Structure 1
C-alpha cells in the first residue's frame, strides 16, 4: 500500500507542476510572449554555441553566444564579436532565421502557423495575435476605439504580416543584388548578402555580413536608399502596412494610429536629418570633409538609422557629443507600434504631445483628426515612457559603474540596446561579461516591451468595487 502511495505521489506532484506551468503560460498573452522569447533565446544560444556556428570551428564563449542570440531574436544588431568574421555560413543562417522570427513577432508567427494548419483562427489565437499587434490587448479592462486592429480582422492582418514580410524582403533582395554587383561585390557573395541585407533592413536589425559593413557603400546612394526604404517599411508597423494596403489612396479612411505613425515618423526623420546637418557640418571627421550632396545623404541616412535601423556609414564615435545626444533622443522614440522597430514608439510620443497641447489649450478632451483619444491610452503612453526611462537609467548606472567608461558612450549604447537599434559608440564590443549580461537584459526588456512586461507582472489584477475620496495634490 505504501508503495502505491509513494508511486502516485510523484505523479500528483508532476501533475501539479504541469498545471502551474500551464497556468503560467496561458494566463496572459504577455507572459506567454516573455516565455516564448526567452525560450527562443536559449535555443539560439545553444545553436550559436556549436563549433559549426563559428568560422574557426571552436565553441563561442557563452557570453558572446547569449548576447548574439538576444540581439538576434530581439532584432537589435548590437554585437560583442565581429559579425563578418566570427560566424560560419551555418552561424549566419541561424542569425538570418532568428531575425525573421523576431521581426515578425513570435506570437504573430505562431498564429500564422496555426492559421495555415487549421485554416481558421480560434478566439484564443485571435486574442494572442491581437495582443502582439496592439499592446492595449495585453491589459485587462475595456479596449474601445483605441484598438488599432479589431479581433475580426486578425486573420487578415496575419496574412498581411506573412505576405508583407516575404514580398518586401524578396523585393529588396532582388533590387539589392544588382546594386551590390555594381558596388563591386562578387556575384556568389552578393547572392546571399542581398537577402541577408534585405532581412536586416526590414527587421531593423542592422547586422552586416561583410567586412567594413555599410561603410563600403558610403558613396553608393542606391544601396543606401534601398536600405533606408527597408528600414522605413519595417519601422511603421504591420497594422499601418495593413491599412495602407486596404486604403492607400483614401487617406480619410486611414486609422488614427496609421495617421499618427506616418506623420510622426516622417517628421522625426526630416527634423533629425536637419539637426544632424547643423551639428556636424563643421566636423572634419564626419560631414566637414563632404560636399553638399554627400552631407545631405549621410544626414538622412543617419536620421533613418537612429530610428531603429542600426546601419551606420559614419563612425558613431566620431560624432560630436551633442549629435550623440540627439541620436539618443531619436533612438529612445524608435518606430511604430507592432513593428520591427523598438523604443517607446512614435505613437506614444504623438499621444503625449497631443495631450500636452490639449492641456495647454484648456481643452476638456484629447483629440486628433476628429477622434478622441481616451484617457486609458494616455495613461499607457505615460507608463511606457516612465518604464523606459527607468530601465535606461538603471542600466546606464550599472554599466557605467562596471566599465568606468564615458557616460555619453554608455548612455548611447544602453538606449540603442533598449530601443533595439544596433548603433554603437564602440563600447559594446569591449564590454566585460558582467556588463554584456546587463546590456542583454536591457535588450530583452526593450524588445518584449515595457507595457507587455508590466502587464505580465500584474496579469492577475483584482477589480476594485469601491471608490476612494478625491484629493488633488499640487502638481508642477
Structure 2
C-alpha cells in the first residue's frame, strides 16, 4: 500500500508542482521561493490528505465490515490508505460498500475536490477549492479584496474558481437526480457513484450488498 500511495500522491500533486519542486531541489545553495500555485497546491493537498485519513480512521475504527477486525497498526495503515485514495487513485483495500454513511459523505467530498492541476487527479482541483475558501473568508470578514498568502487575488481568477465549483456541483446534482429517477438505488449509493465518475476516481460501492432491479427491457416491435 505504501508504494502505491506514494505513486498516486506524487502524480496527484500535478506536473507543474513536481517540476518546480525538483528544480528548487537541484539548485543547491540557491534558495528559491516557490510560486503561489505550488504553495497553495502543496499546503491544501496535504491538509486535505491529513483530514481524510483522520476522518476515515475515526469513523471506521469499530466498523466490523472495514477496519474493525484489524489491529491498531493495521487500522492506521489501511484507514490512512482509504483516506488518501479518493483524491485521485481509486484503489480500495476494504469493502467500500460496507463503510458507514458518514464515511461515504467524507469520501464524496474528497473525490469532488480531487488533486492538483495538470496532474493525474480529477475533481475541481485543490487550488480551486483553496481559492474558494479564501474568497469566503474575505467575504465573512467584510474585506473589499481577497488576499492569498500576502498576494491580491485578481477578480477574473475569483470568477473562474466560482464558475468551476458551481459547474461541478451542477453536474453532480443533475447526474444524481437522473440516476435516482431511472434506478431504485438509494441516495447514498447514487451520489457516491456520480461523484466518483465526476472526479474520474474509479471507486464503486457495488450496490453495498443490496440487489437492485433495473426496469425490465421491452422488445422493440415494428
Fold-level match, TM-score > 0.5?
Answer: yes
Q: How far off its partner does 1:363 sit?
A: 2.6
Within 2, Cα distance between the matches of 1:229 and 1:318?
25
2:78 corresponding residue in structure 1: 298
* Cα separation, 2, equivalents of 1:393 and 1:246: 41
Aligned-pair distance for 1:374? Answer: 0.7
Alignment check: 8 A CA contact 2:57 2:75 kept: yes
Pairing 1:285–2:75 present: no
Structure 2: gaps of 5 or more residues: 216-222
Cα distance, 1:300 vs structure 2: 1.2
Distance 1:400 1:257, change over 3 A: same
Gaps of 5+ in 1: 1-223, 434-476
Determine if the alignment matches structure 1 residue 369 to structure 2 residue 149: yes
1:413 to 182, 193, 206: 193
Which structure would you say has the larger Rg? 1
Deviations 1:257-293 (A, max 9, x none): 1111111110011111111122111111111111111
Q: CA deviation at 1:242?
A: 1.4
> Given the superposition, is the C-alpha separation of residues 407 and 356 from structure 1 closer, same or farther in structure 2, using an over 3 Å criterion?
same
Taking structure 1 as the reference length, what is the TM-score of the superposition?
Answer: 0.42
Stretch deviating more after TM superposition (352-361 or 226-235): 352-361
Note closer, same or farther for the CA distance 1:432–1:234 as it changes in structure 2 (3 Å cut): farther
Is the CA contact 2:184–2:213 (under 8 Å) kept in the aligned structure 1? Answer: no
Q: Secondary structure at the match of 2:201?
A: coil
Alpha-carbon RMSD across the aligned residues, in angstroms, is 2.0
Show the counterpart of 1:273.
53
CA-to-aligned-CA distance 1:106-134 (integer Å, 9 cap, x gap) = xxxxxxxxxxxxxxxxxxxxxxxxxxxxx
Is 1:255 aligned to 2:35, yes or no? Answer: yes
From 397, 402, 408, give the equivalent of 2:177: 397
Counterpart of 1:235 in structure 2 is 12
Distance (whole Å) between structure 2 residues aligned to residue 252 and residue 355 of structure 1 = 28
TM-score calculated relative to the size of structure 2 = 0.88
What is the CA distance between 1:340 and its match in structure 2?
A: 1.2
Q: Which residue of structure 1 lines up, in the alignment, with residue 220 of structure 2?
A: none
For residues 363-413 of structure 1, the C-alpha deviation after alignment (integer angstroms, 9 at most, x for no partner) is 332112222211111111111111001111111111122221111111101
* Matched residue, 1:244: 21
> Is the Cα–Cα contact under 8 Å of residues 134 and 148 in structure 2 kept in the other structure?
yes
Aligned pair 1:339/2:116, yes or no?
no
Question: Which is helix-richer, 1 or 2?
Answer: 1
| Contact 2:55 2:83 (8 Å CA) reproduced | no
SS in 2 for 1:287: coil
